Chains A and B, each alone.
Chain A
Amino acid sequence: MNAQREGSATPGTLLEVRGVAKRFGARDVLKNISLNIASGEFLTLLGESGSGKTTLLRLIAGFEQPTSGEIWMSGERLDTLPPFKRRVNTVFQHYALFPHLSVRENVAYGLRVKKTLANEIDGRVEEALRMVKMQEYADSRPSKLSGGQQQRVALARALVNRPQLLLLDEPLSALDANLRKEMQRELKALQRELGITFLFVTHDQEEAMALSDRIALLRDGALEQVASAREIYAHPATAYTAQFIGQTNLLRGEVRGGSTTCGAIRILSVPGPDGPAIFSVRPECIKHCMDASMQIQYARFKGTIRQQTYAGATELLEVDCGNGQVLRVRISARGPMSGEHEFAFSSEDAIRVRE
């Protein structure tokens, strides 16, 4: 018998996704996802389109049913509840504001529907609009607002209900770059201030790193890695993660007796057992020989600079080491370079990753 109520697995866990899978027709969009979301955290579901991140969000919101598995929230079964009974609210990708209602009425919608008292509604709506800085637009129609303004209203409309969990489905993707950065800042500040758990979906890894406490990277319907932004960046678990988040160089070689040769590069003291291996080395970890004092355990290589991309504070160099092996190196800006140069990186910066 399924108990509808039981204690949480870990204190402080708000949402538990247990072995959830989702199939559409012949396609397995989500394969056996298990994930815990802590109360008060900002978790991002990151992935390419088709990775299943939006599907997972919709499962939690209640617009889809899992093919198998369960979802629990605060010790109670969630996936058997219809969406209007869940203490979960969503900020939709294209805002989904009601065109026939004013901003005020849009925000008040969730409260009216639950038959909240009129004066309480007024107070809470005012508060929500103030939170997103949209008080002066209270009586406008959504069609008269800009994208950024509509987004704020959508946020207020969701938050006014004081949900336990706020779902955000790529809410910033329709905004232009500058507005996007500003909204990211505001969202982060808001989340910190309110302490509500945010589950954010995006395909933009920079956005994920800027906003999240933790990132859950999805690939083809399965969780590739779940960790804090810093952890994921510094210690990617797989080659895919290493490439998806930030830039990297993937070096392949055979590990024998704690060292390996990847193409033209020999790396000493690498962890893990013998056998074929892939190593991720971030471009900014590779130093130009003239910059760093070379230590013995550094892996060194020579290469010809094929291309140089100037980026203000840094340069990105494409270095040809011969035999088709090309590495990307990021160094501080120093003017045009050419010819053969020597580079090196610490073996500690060579992270061994799975395929």
Chain B
Amino acid sequence: MSSCAPVRRAPLLVIYAALVFAFIYLPIVVLILYSFNRDGVGGFPPRHLTLDWYRRLFADGPIWDAVLNSLIVAAGSVVLSLTLGLLAALALDRATFPGKALFRRLVLLPLILPGIITGLSLLMFAVIAGFQRSLTLVFFGHGTALISVATTEIFAGLQKMDHAQEEASLDLGATPWQTFWRVTLPNLRLSLIAAGLLIFTLSMDELAVTYFLIGSENTLPQEIWGRLRRGITPEINAVSSLIFAVSVALIIIWYRMRTRGLGADAQELLERP
């Protein structure tokens, strides 16, 4: 069978695609560039490159408090969303109950609705229930809104899974509980990791829902937002550049894990007698 068809020449398209790429990346490049600019953000070209802004960033207490808060909320959200998302995915895959269609749509709603609606709804609920705006409330908000991410990923993983494996496990004498831990969960490993990474990233960056639920302690996006209202400093460029670097690192790790995971599985399959 022949290999892939020859790539046809279309110079205009190539140029256009390159321009689109430039549009997507240019702001980020500019952002990073100006984090090294002594004279602040603005003007052209940037002269006097310096690491001062990064030094100031590392000495900036409130920012790191905010980072810590964000990490705690994100980690908590991952746990909450994954647990409930896993159960929801299993329910959608295996159980029938009244209102199942409604449930599926309801779970997906926060993903496609603008954040402000979810945020305000939760705020109203909190007020009526007597909860104060706080980091805990933010954690609840993120965890609940992001269940949809977990559910979607894990459900897809369940569909791809070979159900005969679970049947084999039961056939060999394992209880459903054991089957779940020994067969189902390992098969869902990739989905769980993918979902977890995504939930973590989304939570770290979340601003719309957080805006309405936050109390006195800030998450990182909230802290940056607050400073923006007071004015632009290259310190914000610096922290943004760091966020970008961490994001890229996470993607690379995820990519490595995924391809290595697949490669390892394939290897195992080949070596099996």
**Are A54 and B6 in contact, CB atoms less than 8 angstroms apart?**
no
The yes or no answer to A55 lying at the interface (CB within 8 A) is yes
The yes or no answer to B96 lying at the interface (CB within 8 A) is no
Sample (15) of A-B pairs whose CB atoms are under 8 Å apart = A24-B2, A24-B3, A25-B3, A29-B2, A49-B1, A54-B1, A54-B2, A55-B2, A58-B2, A63-B2, A63-B5, A64-B2, A64-B5, A64-B6, A65-B6
Chain B interface residues toward A at CB < 8 A: 1-3, 5-6
CA distance A191 to B105 in the complex (A): 56
CA distance A65 to B8 in the complex (A): 12
Closest to B5 in A: A63
CA distance A90 to B6 in the complex (A): 19
Q: Return B8 CB to nearest CB of chain A, in Å.
A: 9
Given contacts A49-B1, A64-B2, A64-B6, 12 further A-B contacts (CB under 8 A): A24-B2, A24-B3, A25-B3, A29-B2, A54-B1, A54-B2, A55-B2, A58-B2, A63-B2, A63-B5, A64-B5, A65-B6
The 7 lowest CB-CB distance pairs between A and B, nearest first, are: A24-B3, A55-B2, A58-B2, A63-B5, A64-B2, A54-B2, A54-B1
Q: Please provide the chain A residues from 62 to 89 with a CB less than 8 Å away from any CB of chain B in the complex.
A: 63-65
Chain A interface residues toward B at CB < 8 A: 24-25, 29, 49, 54-55, 58, 63-65
CA distance A97 to B3 in the complex (A): 22
Q: Return A162 CB to nearest CB of chain B, in Å.
A: 26
State the majority secondary structure of interface residues on B. Answer: loop
B-side contacts of A54, CB under 8 Å: 1-2
A-side contacts of B2, CB under 8 Å: 24, 29, 54-55, 58, 63-64
B-side contacts of A58, CB under 8 Å: 2
Q: Return B7 CB to nearest CB of chain A, in Å.
A: 12
Q: Return A247 CB to nearest CB of chain B, in Å.
A: 28
B-side contacts of A29, CB under 8 Å: 2
Q: Return A83 CB to nearest CB of chain B, in Å.
A: 11
CA distance A215 to B3 in the complex (A): 26
Closest to B1 in A: A54
A-side contacts of B3, CB under 8 Å: 24-25
Q: Return A174 CB to nearest CB of chain B, in Å.
A: 15
Closest to B3 in A: A24
Q: Return A186 CB to nearest CB of chain B, in Å.
A: 27
CA distance A64 to B5 in the complex (A): 7
CA distance A54 to B265 in the complex (A): 34
Closest to A24 in B: B3
A-side contacts of B5, CB under 8 Å: 63-64
A-side contacts of B1, CB under 8 Å: 49, 54
Which of B1, B2, B5 has most chain A Cβ within 10 Å?
B2
Q: Return A31 CB to nearest CB of chain B, in Å.
A: 16
CA distance A63 to B1 in the complex (A): 13
B-side contacts of A64, CB under 8 Å: 2, 5-6
B-side contacts of A24, CB under 8 Å: 2-3
Q: Return A239 CB to nearest CB of chain B, in Å.
A: 27
CA distance A65 to B5 in the complex (A): 10
Q: Return A311 CB to nearest CB of chain B, in Å.
A: 33
CA distance A29 to B3 in the complex (A): 11
CA distance A11 to B62 in the complex (A): 90
CA distance A54 to B5 in the complex (A): 13
Q: Return A54 CB to nearest CB of chain B, in Å.
A: 6
Which of B3, B5, B6 has most chain A Cβ within 10 Å?
B3
Closest to A58 in B: B2
CA distance A54 to B2 in the complex (A): 8
CA distance A274 to B3 in the complex (A): 46
CA distance A14 to B2 in the complex (A): 25
Closest to A63 in B: B5
CA distance A95 to B5 in the complex (A): 18
Q: Return B5 CB to nearest CB of chain A, in Å.
A: 6
CA distance A25 to B4 in the complex (A): 11
